[in-house]
Chains A and B, each alone.
Chain A
Amino acid sequence: MVEQLELQKRKIILKLNGVKKYFPIKSGLLRRVQNHVKAVESVNLELYEGESLGVVGESGCGKSTLGRAILGLEPLTEGKISFRDEEIQDLKRKEKLRFVKEMQMIFQDPFASLDPRQRVGDALSEVFSIHTNMGARERKEAVLKLLGEVGLKEEHYDRYPHEFSGGQRQRIGIARAIALNPSFIICDEAVSALDVSVQAQVLKLLKTLQEKYHLSYMFISHDLGVVRYFCNRVLVMYLGNTVELAEVEELFKEPLHPYTQALLSAIPRPSVNTKVQRVRLQGDLPNPANPPTGCPFHTRCPVVKDICKTEKPQWEEYTSGHFVACHYAGTSIVSGEV
C-alpha cells in the first residue's frame, strides 16, 4: 500500500498515448506504398520524474524508433506524446525549440555525431550560441565547466574528436546532452560500443549526473545486465509491441511474459557457479513488415495455445505497476505451469 502511494506521488514527466510509427514500403514503377513496416505499435507509457526507464528488446523491436519518435525526430503515424502535460507531437519548428532544451539524446556512436574538423570546445559552445544569448567569454566558461562535469580536462577544449578515445568521446556526447540543463535524456545504446572497463565508468558518470540534476533517463539497451544495474523500471518490446513493463526487481524476479522469461534465460552469466535452467527460443524474429497474426510472439513462444494465434493480447495491468500483454501471463516456460 505504501508503495502504491509512492507511485501516485511521483510526477509524470512524459506520457505516451497510443503512439504508432509505421514506415511505408514503396515499390514498383510509381513508388506506390505497398505495405508498412510496423516499427512501433500503439505504445502507452508513463515516465516519472527522476527515474531511469530501461527499454530492452532484440534488434528490430522498435526500441530506437520509439526513442526517436519521442524526440520528434520521426513524425508519428498516430498517437499523442505529452511532456509535462503539454502535447508536443504536432508542434512547429520554432515552438519545438523550447522542448529541445528539455529533452536530449545520447547516441551510440559519439564519433559519428561530432564534426571531425571542429574543435570539441567550439562544437560544445555552439549549443550555447544557439539556445542562449551568452557572450563569447561566458560561453567558453560554460563549456569548461561542462568538460569538468563529465570528467574531461580544460586542455581538451582545443582538441579534435580523433584525439579522444571512445570513452572520452562518449563523455563529450554526454556533455552536449546536459549542456542546457535538460530534465529528460534518451540514451540510445549509449554504452554499447564501449569496452567493459570504460562502460562501467560512463555508467557511473550517468548515475552521478542523474542524482545531481534530477534527470529522467530513457535507457535503450540490449544489455540486460546494464539495465538491471542502471534502471528503476524496465519495458520489454518485441516486434514493435510492448510486451511487459515492471519495476526492475520484479521483472527480473518474476517475469510474466514468456518472451521476457526467455530473454532473461538467454543472457550469458559472468559466473561459473550458478547454472540456471536454460530455455532456448527457436527460430528468428519475424519480419516486422509482415507480423504474425494474433500475439506477435506466438511463432516462437514455447507455451503457445490456439487463442494466441488469432487474438492479440491486451496490454493490461497484471499486478500494481506490472503491465503485460499475454493471454497466459505468468505461465512458466520451463514447466508450463502458472
Chain B
Amino acid sequence: MRETLLEVNNLITEFRTADGNVQAVRDVSFFVKKGETLCIVGESGCGKSITSLSIMGLLPNNGIISGGEIKYENQAIHALNAEEKRKLRGSKISMIFQEPMTALNPVLTIGYQLREPFMLHHKVNKKQANIQGIELLKQVGIPYPEKRMKQYPHELSGGMRQRVMIALALAGNPGLLIADEPTTALDVTIQAQILDLINSLKEKLDMGVMFITHDMGVVAEVADRVMVMYGGKKIEEGSVEEIFNQPRHPYTIGLLNSVPNVDDPEFELEPIPGSLPSLTEQISGCRFHPRCQFATEQCRITAPTEFEIGNDHNVSCWLVEEEASNNGRAIGVAKA
C-alpha cells in the first residue's frame, strides 16, 4: 500500500458574489497517493480548477473554504496562515498552469526565475543556484540549457515554456505536482512530448500528480485513477480501466460518447442534450438530472449519495444504487 500524500475531505469552496454566496465545489472528497496520477475530468464550470486552487491556497479574495479539510501528509493545510502556506507552496506542493506565457514573468530571464526558488527554498548562493537551474533544465529536456538561462520567455516556443514551467515547479522538490490543463494550449506533437515528460518525472521522483483536464484522450494516457466532476460535485471515481471500460454514471458515459474516436470509423457521436448549468443555477436533487435521459422522480428531489460498486469504484447516481439492490438490469452500458 502506498503512502497517502494528499487527502481532501468534504471540501466546500464558496464565492461571495453580488448574487449571494455561490458554491463552486460542493462536498468533494478524494486522495492522492505517492507515485500515482489522479486525473480530475470535467467540463468548464465543474469546479476542477477551483478544487486545485483551494488546495494550493490560491483562491481569489472573494473565495473561501467554508467546509471540510485538506490534509497533506496527515497535516491539515487548509487553515494555515498566509506565511505558512507560502512556505508550503513550491517546497511541498507545486502547480503548473495552462498558459505558460502568463505564468512566467516576461521581463526577467529564465535564469533569474529559475534561480529564485533555489535561493528561497534551499538558501544557496547565486552560482550554485545557476548550476542547479541548468541541471533542472536538462532534466526537463531543454537543449542548450546554458543559453536558455540567459533568454527571456518570449524567445522560447510554447512547448519550451511549458518545460520551463515544469522545471520551476520541480525546483523545490515537491511531493505533489498539480497540473491544471498543462497541455491544452499546445499542439498534439508537443502535447505528447510534455505528457511523456510528466509521466517519466513522476516515476523518477516518485511524486504524486494531480492532473486536471477536460480531454478524455489525455486522461487515458496519463491517469492511474480518475475522478469525474460535474456541477461542483464528484460524480464518479475509479481506476482508469474501470472508468473507460465500465463507466456507470450517465454523465461519464455521455462524456465518453461525445469524443470522436480516431481509430474507429464507425463511431457515432451521442451528444449529451442541454447545456452546462451555471454555478448560480438552483437545481434540486442530482445536479445532472435536467440533462439525464434516465432521470427519475427520485433524482429530481434528492441528491444521490456516493455509492461503492467494488474495486474502489464510486458512483453518485441513484440508478446505479437501485440497480445494485435489484441485482442486475443494466441502465446504460457504454459502447466499448
Q: Which of A28-69 contact B (CB under 8 A)?
A: 58-59
Q: Which of B187-241 contact A (CB under 8 A)?
A: 187-193, 195-196, 214-221, 240-241
Task: Name the one of B159, B258, B275 contacting A200, with C-beta atoms under 8 angstroms.
Answer: B258
Interface hub of B188, B191, B221, B265 (most chain A Cβ within 10 A): B188
User: Given the interface contacts A58-B189, A267-B188, A269-B262, does A201 sit within 8 Å of B271 by beta carbon?
Assistant: yes
Across the interface, which residues of B come within 8 angstroms of A203, CB to CB?
260, 269, 271
Q: Which of A256-291 contact B (CB under 8 A)?
A: 262-264, 266-274, 278, 280-281, 284-285
Q: Which of B252-284 contact A (CB under 8 A)?
A: 254-263, 265, 267, 269-273, 275-276
Within the complex, what minimum Cβ distance (angstroms) separates A152 from chain B?
A: 12
Within the complex, what minimum Cβ distance (angstroms) separates A211 from chain B?
A: 15
User: Given the interface contacts A197-B254, A222-B187, does A168 sit within 8 Å of B262 by beta carbon?
Assistant: no
Within the complex, what minimum Cβ distance (angstroms) separates B236 from chain A?
A: 15
Q: Are B265 and A270 in contact (CB under 8 A)?
A: no
Which of A11-19, A172-180, A224-232 sits within the interface? A224-232
User: Given the interface contacts A58-B189, A225-B217, A284-B160, does A267 sit within 8 Å of B262 by beta carbon?
Assistant: yes
Within the complex, what minimum Cβ distance (angstroms) separates B214 from chain A?
A: 7
Complex Cα distance A284/B186, Å?
A: 11
Q: Are B214 and A195 in contact (CB under 8 A)?
A: yes
Q: Are B275 and A280 in contact (CB under 8 A)?
A: no
Classify the secondary structure of A's interface with B: helix
B157 in the interface (beta carbon within 8 A): yes
Q: Are B188 and A224 in contact (CB under 8 A)?
A: yes
Q: Are B216 and A270 in contact (CB under 8 A)?
A: yes
Complex Cα distance A284/B272, Å?
A: 37
Q: How large is the interface on A (under 10, 10 to 19, 20 to 34, 35 or more residues)?
A: 35 or more
User: Given the interface contacts A196-B216, A197-B255, A224-B188, does A272 sit within 8 Å of B241 by beta carbon?
Assistant: yes
Complex Cα distance A204/B257, Å?
A: 13
Interface hub of A168, A223, A249 (most chain B Cβ within 10 A): A223
Complex Cα distance A278/B189, Å?
A: 11
Task: Name the one of A201, A266, A270 contacting B219, with C-beta atoms under 8 angstroms.
Answer: A270
Across the interface, which residues of B come within 8 angstroms of A222, CB to CB?
187-188
Complex Cα distance A196/B256, Å?
A: 9
Complex Cα distance A67/B29, Å?
A: 47
A114 in the interface (beta carbon within 8 A): no
A165 in the interface (beta carbon within 8 A): yes
By beta carbon, the residue of chain A nearest B213 is A268
Q: Are A262 and B220 in contact (CB under 8 A)?
A: no
Q: Are B192 and A280 in contact (CB under 8 A)?
A: yes
User: Given the interface contacts A195-B43, A196-B43, A196-B258, does A228 sit within 8 Å of B215 by beta carbon?
Assistant: no
Across the interface, which residues of A come within 8 angstroms of B44, CB to CB?
166, 195
By beta carbon, the residue of chain B nearest A262 is B189
Q: Are B260 and A271 in contact (CB under 8 A)?
A: no
Across the interface, which residues of A come within 8 angstroms of B159, CB to CB?
284
By beta carbon, the residue of chain B nearest A272 is B244
A198 in the interface (beta carbon within 8 A): yes
By beta carbon, the residue of chain B nearest A287 is B157
B293 in the interface (beta carbon within 8 A): no
Q: Are A272 and B260 in contact (CB under 8 A)?
A: no
Across the interface, which residues of A come within 8 angstroms of B195, CB to CB?
268
A167 in the interface (beta carbon within 8 A): yes
Q: Are B265 and A263 in contact (CB under 8 A)?
A: no
Q: Are B256 and A270 in contact (CB under 8 A)?
A: yes
Interface hub of B219, B254, B257, B258 (most chain A Cβ within 10 A): B258
Within the complex, what minimum Cβ distance (angstroms) separates B141 from chain A?
A: 9
User: Given the interface contacts A264-B262, A273-B245, does A200 sit within 8 Å of B220 by beta carbon?
Assistant: no
Q: Are B188 and A225 in contact (CB under 8 A)?
A: no
Q: Are A204 and B157 in contact (CB under 8 A)?
A: no
Q: Which of A151-190 contact B (CB under 8 A)?
A: 165-168
Interface hub of B187, B261, B267 (most chain A Cβ within 10 A): B187
Q: Which of A196-253 contact B (CB under 8 A)?
A: 196-201, 203-204, 222-226, 228-230, 248-249, 252
By beta carbon, the residue of chain A nearest B275 is A165
Q: Are A196 and B259 in contact (CB under 8 A)?
A: yes
Complex Cα distance A197/B93, Å?
A: 32
User: Given the interface contacts A197-B255, A280-B196, A285-B157, does A229 sit within 8 Å of B260 by beta carbon?
Assistant: yes
Q: Are A266 and B265 in contact (CB under 8 A)?
A: no
Q: Are B189 and A271 in contact (CB under 8 A)?
A: no
Task: Name the one of B192, B218, B240, B257 contacting A278, with C-beta atoms under 8 angstroms.
Answer: B192
Complex Cα distance A197/B254, Å?
A: 7
Complex Cα distance A278/B188, Å?
A: 13
Across the interface, which residues of B come within 8 angstroms of A167, CB to CB?
275
Across the interface, which residues of B come within 8 angstroms of A201, CB to CB?
271-273
Given contacts A269-B221, A272-B244, 5 further A-B contacts (CB under 8 A): A195-B43, A197-B272, A228-B261, A268-B191, A270-B259
The 10 closest A-B pairs by CB, nearest first: A268-B217, A200-B271, A229-B260, A270-B216, A195-B43, A58-B187, A200-B258, A197-B272, A225-B260, A266-B192
- Listed by A's residue number, 15 A-B pairs whose Cβ atoms lie within 8 Å are A198-B43, A200-B258, A200-B269, A222-B187, A226-B260, A248-B265, A252-B262, A266-B192, A268-B218, A270-B259, A272-B245, A273-B244, A274-B263, A280-B189, A281-B192
On A, residues with C-beta under 8 Å from B are 58-59, 165-168, 195-201, 203-204, 222-226, 228-230, 248-249, 252, 262-264, 266-274, 278, 280-281, 284-285
